[in-house]
Amino acid sequence: MSASQIQKLLAKLPEITGWIDATLAAHDGLSRPVTSFGFKRLPEYYSPQFLAQTKVVVVERIPVPPLSALGLQELAAFEQGDYAGITFKDTYFVKAAEASRESLHFHELVHVVQWDHLGVAKFLTAYAAGLAMQGYRNSPLEVMAYDLQDYFDRNGQPADVVAAVRNKLNELYP
C-alpha cells in the first residue's frame, strides 16, 4: 500500500467505523455470549470472563463493509469473498451453517483480541494494509489467527491465547 493509499484509507476511517457501529447496533438484540454455545475446548485457551463478554451473532450472510462504495478499490476483492465469520470489536458474526464449528469461534476470538489490543483505528489500518499488500490469507493479522487456529485444530497444549496474541502484536506493531 502506498503512502497515498494509506492516506485515502485513513480519510475513510470515520465512515468505516460508522458502518461498523451501525451494523453492531442493528444486530445487538441478536447477539449472545460465546459461553452460550457450550463449547468444551475454548475454555482451555480463553478465560471464562473473556468468553462471557465476547458476543456472537449468527447470520445467514456475513456483513462486510462497503469498501468499494467508499472508494477503496484496492480492497474491493475482500467484499466479494464468502466468509464463515467476521469480527468487529468485541462481537463476531458467524454464518448459520458453520455456527457450531468450535474452530471457527477460536479463530474469530483471536481477532477479538487483536481489535482490543490495537484499538479500532490501528486495527483497521493494519488489517487493510495487510489485505492490500499480502491478500486476505497472507495478511499478518489473518496469518496469526490461522496459525493459532491450526494449533487448536491439532490439539495443541492448552495455552493463554490472549497473552500470546498480545505479545505477537507488540512485536509486529510496536
Binder among 24, 128, 145, 162 for Zn ion (CB under 5 A): 145
* Closest approach of Zn ion to the CB of residue 23, in Å: 17
Distance, CA of 107 to chain centre:
8
Quick note: the x/- pattern for Zn ion over 52-91, rule CB under 5 A, is ----------------------------------------
Least distance CB 112 / Zn ion (angstroms): 11
**Closest distance of CB 10 from Zn ion, Å:** 22
Of 123-142, binders to Zn ion (CB under 5 A) are: 142
The helix-helix angle for 140-153 and 120-134 (nearest 10°) equals 90
Q: Which residues bind Zn ion (CB under 5 A)?
A: 142, 145
